[in-house]
Amino acid sequence: MFIGVDGDLHAVAQTESGTSTAWTISQWSSKGSRFAFAGNPPESLVNQFCSSVPADKIGPLGFAPCLAQHGYTQLTSYQPASRFWPFQWIEGGWLLALSALLIVATIWLVHRRAALCVAPCGRAATGSSDSQGDRA
């Protein structure tokens, strides 16, 4: 396993097992410390270097072992599976806090509008009934 850091300070790893339970953020390949391609290799590159590899010999890493023989290195930016539940708690926590804030804001706004409407609306209602009573 190779673990390093790229120019943007993302943790990267290269494994040979391919059975990782990590959450893959992105994958890219380089050749000679220079970016070559992201994601799957271009078909022209596979045809040039790996066309002789039988389909049953490709394995879980795809064409990475074949391209590695020609100087390409596949790098992966990932989050380990052990961070799944902490991420869930963090996301759930800020969503719960946002929901509570919105509920409080809604209750405050409804009470404020109700308080503003009670005085003018109440006077208008009593004023109109009083004016009708004066006419009679």
Q: How confident is the model at residue 61 (pLDDT cuts 50, 70, 90)?
A: low
The residue assigned the tokens 């790893």 is: 13
Is residue 20 over pLDDT 70? Answer: no
Residue of 92 and 30 predicted with greater confidence? 92
Which whole number is the average pLDDT over 37-46?
A: 80
Least confident interval from 13-17, 61-65, 81-85: 13-17
Q: Which percentage of the chain shows pLDDT scores above 90?
A: 21
pLDDT of residue 72: 86
Least confident interval from 1-5, 28-32, 108-112: 1-5
Q: How confident is the model at residue 132 (pLDDT cuts 50, 70, 90)?
A: low
What digits encode the pLDDT tens for the residues 72-96? 888 888 889 899 999 999 999 999 9
Give the Cα separation of 126 and 136 in Å (integer).
16
Q: What is the pTM of this model?
A: 0.46
Is residue 25 over pLDDT 90? Answer: no
Give the Cα separation of 130 and 122 in Å (integer).
12
Q: Strands, DSSP E only, in the chain?
A: 2-5, 11-14, 23-31, 34-38, 72-79
